[in-house]
Amino acid sequence: MDADNLDNPAGGCDFSINGVNFGDGVVDNERLGLTGFMFNLNSASPINGDPRYAEQYYQYLSGLWKDGSQMLYGGGGHYSLGAYGPASKFMFPGSSDICHWGTGGTAPFGPIDWTMESSGYTPNDVRGLGITGPFSFPAGGYQQVDLAFVTARSFTPGLTALDVLRNRIDSLKVRYYQSSEDFGRYFASAINERPANLPSFDLRPNPAHRQFVIRLHSTTGQAIIQITDLTGRTCYSGLLYPGDNNVDIANLKPGIYLVQVIENHLRSVKKLIVR
């Protein structure tokens, strides 16, 4: 969140619902969580199809449809798709928004348990868009965004995969919110502690241009570095040694890459932004 010289309180129907560091006694360390969610279809629909132009992308990021209209509660989120209102920041919240934060404190004008199933959607090529903000993003600044992809299957009679998924998400949130030191950490599960023997390294600068320096904190010897793009394709690999290592990335295209360090078959991951 932008600085306001306050330790914003926790527990209200506001950004503290899914943000972190609220009411912890520290001024201006609050971080926003998800502040909006909508979806679009893999189609050319003028309402909720794939965006084509910069304005349409920005409208989606602002919680608006391609035609510029506000997302509404219910149905398909649009007045022509069975929505009944009021204006909403989140699509398909189910019964999770108990204080109607996503609708500005106003109770929905129809059924509250709004899901894709209740709206009559069948499985399709659907894209979800998570939104966070607003916040100031000055030139030369940076923001770190942590994502958790959680999957589940159920092997217990009477317990659905969705029940297991929700339990795992709740467990992960509790673990994640325990300390701001958890930001950027790797979780193999929501229960186990992070292995103490994972490779440890720092890299600078980030963003980088033609090369960066990676410092390997190791007492066991050399390690392997792998750089992959967001499709999982390996773009660079080499050896690292304890201390500072120069890594040449002049041949990489501008974009976002993942840096993996592998030592004794254990992996550690950090994000590298190359420009």
Q: Give the tens place of pLDDT for each residue, 227-261.
A: 888 777 888 889 998 889 999 998 888 888 888 88
Same domain as 270, residue 177:
no
Mean of the per-residue pLDDT values for the chain?
85
Same domain as 133, residue 52:
yes
Of 110, 138, 166, the residue at which a domain comes to its end is 138
- Say if residue 176's pLDDT is above 70: yes
Q: Give the least confident one: 68-72, 180-184, 218-222, 249-253.
A: 180-184
- Say if residue 262's pLDDT is above 90: no
- 256 is a domain residue: yes
Query: Is the pLDDT higher at 235 or at 171?
Result: 235
Q: Which long-range contacts (CB under 8 A, 24 or more apart) does 10-15 make?
A: 13/99, 13/100, 13/101, 13/105, 14/101
Best CA proximity match to 180, nearest among 146, 140, 131, 224: 146
Of 138, 157, 185, the residue at which a domain comes to its end is 138
Question: What average pLDDT does this structure show over 171-199?
Answer: 61
- 129 is a domain residue: yes
- pLDDT band of residue 131 (cuts 50, 70, 90) is very high
Q: Give the tens place of pLDDT for each residue, 46-58.
A: 999 999 999 999 9
Q: Give the tens place of pLDDT for each residue, 32-47.
A: 999 999 999 888 899 9
Same domain as 132, residue 73:
yes
- 48 is a domain residue: yes
The Cα 205–Cα 4 span in angstroms is 29
- 24 is a domain residue: no
Based on the structure, what is the number of domains in the chain? 3
- Beta carbons of 190 and 171 less than 8 angstroms apart: yes
- Say if residue 114's pLDDT is above 80: yes
- pLDDT band of residue 190 (cuts 50, 70, 90) is very low
- pLDDT band of residue 263 (cuts 50, 70, 90) is confident
What is the extent of the structural domain holding 227?
A: 200-274
Same domain as 76, residue 164:
no
The Cα 89–Cα 36 span in angstroms is 5
Same domain as 160, residue 113:
no
Could you tell me the CA-to-CA distances from 56 to 80, 87, 89, 131, 224 in Å, in that order? 18, 19, 17, 15, 42
Q: What is the pTM of this model?
A: 0.64
pLDDT, residue 191, reads 46
- pLDDT band of residue 192 (cuts 50, 70, 90) is very low
Question: What average pLDDT does this structure show over 68-86?
Answer: 95
